[in-house]
Amino acid sequence: MGALHNRLEVAYSFFCDSRDYLWRYELTWEHFSPIKSSRYKLFIDLRSAYECILKAHLAYSADDSASRKCIIQKLEAYNHNIDRLFRDLVSFLPKDIEKNGEHFNVKIVSLPISLRYYLDGRDFLDAKEDLYYSTIGQDSWMGQFAEFVTALVRQLDDKLQAHSKIVSSEEAWEILNSRDVYNKYTPKRDKPQ
Q: What is the pLDDT of residues 73-102, one digit of tens each?
A: 999 999 999 999 999 988 888 888 888 888
Residue 190 has a pLDDT of: 58
Does 193 fall in a domain?
Answer: no
Residue 166 has a pLDDT of: 63
Say if CB 65 and CB 3 are below 8 A apart.
Answer: yes
Does 183 fall in a domain?
Answer: no
* Tally of domains in the chain: 1
pLDDT tens, residue order, the chain (193 aa): 456 778 889 999 999 999 999 999 999 999 988 888 889 999 999 999 999 999 999 999 988 788 889 999 999 999 999 999 999 988 888 888 888 888 899 999 999 998 988 999 999 999 999 999 999 999 999 999 999 999 999 999 989 888 876 656 676 666 666 666 677 777 776 555 5
Instruction: In whole angstroms, give the CA distance from residue 26 to residue 169.
Output: 39
Instruction: In whole angstroms, give the CA distance from residue 87 to residue 33.
Output: 30
Report the CATH number that the domain containing residue 172 is assigned in CATH.
1.20.120
pLDDT tens profile 4-16: 778 889 999 999 9
Predicted TM-score (pTM) of the model is 0.85
Range of the domain at 163: 2-178
Does 164 fall in a domain?
Answer: yes
Does 184 fall in a domain?
Answer: no
Q: Tell me how many degrees the CA angle 152-83-34 measures, rounded to the nearest 5.
A: 65
Does 54 fall in a domain?
Answer: yes
